[in-house]
Structure 1
Amino acid sequence: MASKQESKWTVFAAKVAAHIRDYVIPQYGDDLNDDEPAKFYDARDCIEQAKRYLARFGTSQRQGEEHRDLLKAAHWIQKAFDRLPEKRNG
């Protein structure tokens, strides 16, 4: 049985997935094009993008924008994670 925290994470992860499916892919495609600068971002660049969205928290006049910014930040954190070398034990 999943913990409460794990269950909340699962709900949040589903919302991030929906954001990617419904917003990111229609706007940017399922993979970055050769002319997209983000294609060449390293983990640090992705973290800077996440920070940008986190810094906007609480400043938008548009309803729901804080939720959207957190979803965007989470997506950039995932991208940073993907760009790190895999940690190997031993």
Structure 2
Amino acid sequence: MTSKQESKWTAFAAKVAAHIRDYVIPQYGDEGEEPAQEYDARDCVEQSKRYLARFGKSQRPGEEHRDLLKAAHWIQKAFDRLPEKRNG
């Protein structure tokens, strides 16, 4: 059985995926083509902070949602750039 939190995460992840597909890829290219391909995990975290810092400051409708999607995408990029955690 899926928890309510997991269901909400799944719905949010689908929105992030749509943002990547409909905005990021057409604007910047796919993985390996994008200008940020040289960023390390720390650079990606800094980019996510940039979008989080804008929260509540935009006059444009829907911009807070878009900034959270952008921040989530940058967090995923940071996660991908970290070395794999090994136990033991």
Matches of 2:19 and 2:67, distance apart in 1: 11
State how 1:1-90 maps to structure 2 within 5 Å. Answer: 1-33=1-33, 36=35, 38-90=36-88
Quote the sequence identity (%). Answer: 85
Displacement after TM superposition at 1:39 (Å): 1.4
Instruction: Write the letter of the residue equivalent to 1:62.
Output: R
Per-residue Cα deviation, 1:5-61 (whole angstroms, up to 9, x for no partner): 000000000000000000001111112437x2x111110000000000000000000
- Supply the distance in 2 between the matched residues of 1:49 and 1:83 (Cα, whole angstroms): 14
TM-score (norm 1): 0.94
C-alpha distance in structure 2 between counterparts of 1:25 and 1:46, whole Å: 17
CA RMSD of aligned residues (A): 1.1
Normalization by structure 2: what TM-score? 0.96
Structure 2: give runs of 5+ residues left out of the alignment: none
Q: Which runs of 4+ in 1 moved over 6 A?
A: none
Structure 1 gap segments, 5+ residues each: none
Count of aligned pairs: 88
CA-CA distance at 1:3 after TM superposition: 0.4
**In structure 2, how many angstroms separate the alpha carbons of the residues matched to 1:13 and 1:46?**
18
